[in-house]
Chains A and B, each alone.
Chain A
Amino acid sequence: MYDEFDSRALRRTDCFGQRFMKAGTYRYGVFPANGQHLSLERPFAIKVDEARPGQRMKQHTVTLSVVKGGFKPDKPEITIEAGDMVVWNCPEKAMTPYAVVGDKEFFASSRLVNECGYSHAFGLPGDYHWVDAFGGPVQGVVRVRDPGVKTKDDLEKWRQTLAQGTVVMIDDQQAKPREIEIFVGQTVFFAVTKSAGLSITDERLLETRK
């Protein structure tokens, strides 16, 4: 088994988040990874209303389930306010890697553009050198350490660390911090503020496919 870490192919312990800054209707589909070009259908929708003055960002979580022929969100259509974030996750055992792809250039988990994010919970220890699979200069390292659990107390301490996430802020040119260290099971949220379109991809996956 291998802990695949690639924003272009979301897995069970991954989430994709997208902020919608302008009012309008944004249609999207959920496809098997790299399968977004197989269909032009975007059957689901995010309706974005104008934001009320002074309103803070709200999060809306969409849970995906696996159905015959693809994925289905628990809320096929949701209404949010401008500036809110929608987070997608598919917790099902039977899921295959997928991508959330919208009808606008900025809205796709397969190519992160702006005001979006990708989170991954790291299940295996090791150094994960990540790069932009689209050839951009941004890159970084996640060093995932074995928590060294030997006793029941160690296990409990480790469990408590799992709720602590780490943020990596990314723009076109750089990731901050470029290098982070976490324990197995912890989650990293890669927040993309502005880019021409990038991915966060374990370098080894690209080497495998060369």
Chain B
Amino acid sequence: MAEITAAVDEQGANKLLDAAIAAIGTQVKSGSGSLGPFVANYTISGTLTNGDVDLIPPSTIRIVDLRLDWQIDFSFGIDLSDILPDFCLPQVCIDIPCVGEVCTPKICIDWPTISVPISFGDFLKTTADFEVVASLVGGDWIVSIKILGVPNLQFGATTAALLAAIGLAVTPILLAIPFLGPFLAIAVNAILAAIGIAGLTGFLGPIITPFVSGLTFQIYKQPKNFEVLPAAGAFDPAVDITIDALAAVVANSGEDELILTADVSP
């Protein structure tokens, strides 16, 4: 039989998880990924905020509206000659008074490769189920909650906004390229069509999902051996106990509670 039992209700669990999730802080990752046909190098930061905790016996902690605020800075290169038609200035002939006709040769323009930097942030909310896990790591008992499965993250509105942001970012870059102005609409549409909603989802999904999938929060840590009473004199030594076993469950005893039970020995 358990010798120590501790329980928290949903309100308490909410506070516990508020602190545990806040302790994770802002996480930053860098890498590269496919943005449609382009390769984008990115740096992304993500910060989680607790939602509403729902304790579901026998072992599930559900967080409703777990929020992830994310900010991504990425850049990708576009070889404009891949998307724009070849362009040549035609031969231009002019009549110079008292001299005669002079013609320039036909001159073809090579479209350059451009780099488009984008800075974009948004948030998403998801509902995720976690399990409670107690384990002995080194000399410490650790109670964590660990996400079950990979939640489905919805990027619907985000992708539309990000596509618009890419359009806004690419426009001034294109306008600065000689002779490209008249092809601007063609170029922007071609770039956005090449990326598409699918390209953005395919880019964001693998980058953002890891902030949530595999999530583990530590909610309690206790040394296996610890002092419960300090020494009070030469003939009254400190009293130490050992936690031999620790278990965590979700149970209903009138209301849903997260219960920790510990078996101890001197």
Chain A residues near B (Cβ < 8 Å) = 1-3, 12-13, 15, 17, 19, 56-57, 59, 61, 63, 85, 87, 89, 91, 93, 115, 117, 119, 121, 123-125, 146-147, 149-150, 154-155, 158, 162-167, 169, 184-187, 189, 191
Contacts and interface: CB of A to CB of B under 8 A. Distances in A.
Contact of B96 (A158, A163, A167, A187): A167
A162 B90 contact: yes
Contacts of B110: 93
A189 B96 contact: yes
27 contacts: A2-B176, A3-B178, A12-B107, A59-B103, A87-B102, A87-B104, A87-B105, A89-B105, A91-B105, A91-B107, A93-B110, A119-B92, A121-B89, A121-B92, A121-B104, A123-B178, A123-B179, A124-B178, A149-B181, A154-B182, A155-B182, A155-B183, A158-B182, A162-B89, A165-B93, A165-B94, A185-B179
A119 B107 CA distance: 12
A52 B128 CA distance: 93
Contacts of A186: 92
A47 to B, nearest CB: 21
Nearest to A1: B176
B112 to A, nearest CB: 8
Contacts of A17: 102
Interface residues of B, number: 32
A28 to B, nearest CB: 19
Given A12-B107, A93-B110, 8 more contacts: A19-B99, A57-B100, A89-B105, A91-B107, A165-B93, A167-B97, A184-B181, A187-B89
B169 interface: no
B207 to A, nearest CB: 31
Contacts of A117: 96, 102
**Lowest 8 A-B CB distances belong to which pairs?**
A123-B178, A149-B182, A165-B92, A165-B94, A57-B100, A123-B179, A187-B92, A163-B90
Contacts of A191: 96, 99, 102
Contacts, number: 108
Given A1-B177, A163-B91, A85 B99 contact: yes
Contact of B94 (A2, A146, A147, A166): A166
A163 B92 contact: yes
Contacts of A124: 176, 178, 181
Nearest to A124: B178
B3 interface: no
Interface of B: 89-97, 99-105, 107-110, 112, 176-186
**Considering residues B112, B179, B181, which has the most beta carbons from chain A within 10 angstroms of its beta carbon?**
B181
Contacts of B186: 155
B104 A185 contact: no
Nearest to B98: A193
B177 A167 contact: no
A87 B100 CA distance: 14
A147 B180 CA distance: 11
Nearest to B177: A1
B78 to A, nearest CB: 14
Nearest to B99: A57
B182 A59 contact: no
Nearest to A184: B181
Nearest to B96: A191
A184 B107 CA distance: 15
B70 to A, nearest CB: 33
B179 A189 contact: no
A123 B174 CA distance: 12
**Considering residues A93, A124, A147, A169, which has the most beta carbons from chain B within 10 angstroms of its beta carbon?**
A124
B104 A15 contact: yes
B185 A89 contact: no
A117 B99 CA distance: 11
A178 to B, nearest CB: 16
Nearest to B175: A124
B3 to A, nearest CB: 76
